[in-house]
Amino acid sequence: MRNGSVLHRPFFKVLVANRGEIALRVMRSARRLGLSVVAVHSDADRDALHVHQADQAVRIGEALPVQSYLNIPAIIAAAKASGADAVHPGYGFLAENEEFARACKDAGLVFIGPSPQAIEAMGNKAGAKEIMKKAGVPIVPGYQGTEQGDEVMLAEAGKIGFPVMIKAVAGGGGRGMRLVTDAASFPDALRSARSEAKAAFGDPTVILERAIQNPRHIEIQVFGDSHGNAIHLGERDCSVQRRHQKLIEEAPSPAVTPELRAKMGEVAVAAVKALRYEGAGTLEFLLDARGEFYFMEMNTRLQVEHPVTEAITRLDLVELQLRIARGEPLPVKQQDIRFEGHAIEVRLCSEDAAQDFMPQSGRMARWQVPDGIRVEHALQSGSEIPPFYDSMIAKVISHGATREEARARLIVGLEQLTAFGVTTNQAFLMSCLRHPGFAKGEATTAFISAHRDELLTARANAAFDVALAGLLLYVTNPRAPLWQGGRSLAATFPLPAKIEIAGERYELEVTRERDGSYSVVVDGRQDRFEIDQLDPDSIRFRHDGVMDSAKVLRDGDRLYVQHRGIPLAITDLTLAAPKAAAANGGDGKVRAAMNGRVVAVLVKPGDRVTAGQPVLTLEAMKMEHVHKAGIDGVVAAIDVTEGEQVTTGRIVVEIEAG
């Protein structure tokens, strides 16, 4: 309805077309405004936390995103079935899909986001660049043409000059993005980027950009309303990335001066007003060492990293989205915006940093979050991490009066967080936060690649970790007598054990001494421990005159330990039968490294291959992962087909040596 010239769009029940922590984040603000909330879920998410915490929930399809969270008719039908009168897309999936926004409008639903026209104009990277170029905004040189043939793209890359970036024209989050350093590797990178873009966004179209070396990734948060008002909420620095996906974000940026902030903010607000943009948006820029900035793209949605902006502005950005969607004017003006302190966010992902950030799925055996720090998540002990969606499982956000205070609080928060059962990047994130380069505010987009070996350095005291693991396996063994403090009158005999930590195997002996202490011997080194307290989930012990503690979980032949914030997964091999060393393909069989979908078979039976040659590509958690031959030889069999879903360890390609 209209009041004068202003359109009012009241709504009372919001369907959140997303999952996990994103859905819960939107629901929290909607409920505070007195709105009812509806969740949607795939078969894989039937028992997910966002489903149980919604007022209503509707099944929208099978596990794969294209069957569920990317299924526009199913989501519209879910809104109708639940009686929802508005839809919030969250961030990711259909959040930047103009067809979805238009379908909501055509169905009489309020879409909590910009208009379909704005999404189409700015959500498309090529179109956005043309608009910005006409507005006088600096643009990275590149190619945004409609001619997408292989030869045309290679020729255009040559004109731009290597290195170049290939980017999916639709969507973001690093998917469909490849850095290419030379013409020889361009065709394979182009194919892979197109395949990933098609799987993630339903559109294989890509653009090319000159790769600016070692820039900062700076983004400006903007809002516009239906009354012609527009504001910016300062910048976020998102430079710490792996595989072109952000891992650490902070606000404000250590590299942005007040003058530069004002300049970038003015450019961003001018773009919002020119578009008559309504809702939340983010303009992303590359900032070089000289302080020059170049427009990359505009995300026509809220960002994963929005909490750091909320922390320094004290504004609820989801609430702003909801109010704007109802037709209300922005409740704040530019001159009212104040920035208080510093905020840093890390993305906790179910991935193995030591294995090229390979995504991990499985059951989260124990999940505990610390008090006194913001953690956005949708997990609980026993939650399943499915292989079909993004690997990010939580965000941990700190705020302090200074950057150093925020950094210290975040490190302590990560040390106190417990995630047992699925490998995460928890230790890697702490390593990044502690690195001198990050501490000084010097990190660029090259930070992880430049310091990768340091960030992945083996545990500071691996020998002690092995000894502690041996002690804990001994005292938590369900077949052993319950631990009791004090002296022992029983005869003491060393018990041999075999364990595996991070792929390394160790043999050790554990002895309970008559004085009640324990001796652990590994490779001739002896460590002595005294136990003060042993609980089902923790231990307090003394070693070399220091009383210390660790979190513990015994799960069959697996032991999870978190000591001084570093999580370890230990496998007890004492009673295990010997296994053939074939995991790396040394037996000629290439095995799936994770649950995933086969997106490309790169060889055929009879092909001769060499060790290390790519033979197959899997897509898991929205990223592609190339599998390589373990030996030289001839391809004897292809055991999968493109499009097939496979499980971890499945033999996918067989190679005969020769």
pLDDT of residue 169: 84
Q: Is the pLDDT of residue 5 over 60?
A: no
Q: What percent of the chain has pLDDT over 90?
A: 71
Between 498 and 213, name the one with better pLDDT. 498
pLDDT of residue 4: 42
Q: Is the pLDDT of residue 135 over 80?
A: no
Q: Is the pLDDT of residue 214 over 90?
A: no
pLDDT of residue 106: 97
- pLDDT band, very low/low/confident/very high, at 3 (cuts 50, 70, 90): very low
Q: Is the pLDDT of residue 518 over 90?
A: yes
pLDDT of residue 499: 94
- pLDDT band, very low/low/confident/very high, at 318 (cuts 50, 70, 90): very high
Q: What percent of the chain has pLDDT over 70?
A: 94
Contact of 652 with 616, CB cutoff 8 Å: yes
Contact of 429 with 379, CB cutoff 8 Å: no
Q: Report how far apart, in Å, the C-alpha atoms of 371 and of each of 67, 413, 542 are.
A: 37, 8, 27
pLDDT of residue 490: 60
Residues 6+ apart with CB under 8 A from 592: 618, 627, 646, 647, 648, 649, 650, 652
19, 301, 403, 407: the catalytic one is 301
pLDDT of residue 583: 47
For helices 317-325 and 306-313, angle between their N-to-C axes, nearest 10 degrees? 100
Quick one: average pLDDT of 616-639? Answer: 87
Q: How many CB atoms lie within 10 A of CB 189?
A: 18
pLDDT tens digits, one per residue of 319-332: 999 999 999 999 99
* Separation CA 566–CA 428 (nearest Å): 9
Place of tokens 């507005």: 135
Quick one: average pLDDT of 535-563? Answer: 93
Active site residue 59: no
**Strand-strand pairing, 504-512 and 518-522:** antiparallel
Q: Is the pLDDT of residue 543 over 80?
A: yes
| Helix or strand run (H / E) with residue 261 | helix 258-275
Two structure tokens written together for 428: 């890697």
- pLDDT band, very low/low/confident/very high, at 7 (cuts 50, 70, 90): low
- pLDDT band, very low/low/confident/very high, at 1 (cuts 50, 70, 90): very low
- pLDDT band, very low/low/confident/very high, at 460 (cuts 50, 70, 90): low
Quick one: average pLDDT of 188-215? Answer: 88
**Strand-strand pairing, 566-572 and 633-638:** unpaired
- pLDDT band, very low/low/confident/very high, at 622 (cuts 50, 70, 90): low
Domains and CATH numbers, the chain: 2-112 (3.40.50.20), 141-210 (3.30.1490.20), 216-455 (3.30.470.20), 462-572 (3.30.700.30), 589-657 (2.40.50.100)
pLDDT tens digits, one per residue of 230-261: 999 999 999 999 988 899 999 999 999 999 99
pTM of the full structure? 0.85
Between 17 and 574, name the one with better pLDDT. 17
pLDDT of residue 184: 93
Query: Count of residues for the chain?
Result: 658
Range with the largest mean pLDDT of 199-213, 282-296, 447-461: 282-296
Contact of 143 with 185, CB cutoff 8 Å: no
Residues 6+ apart with CB under 8 A from 260: 291, 293
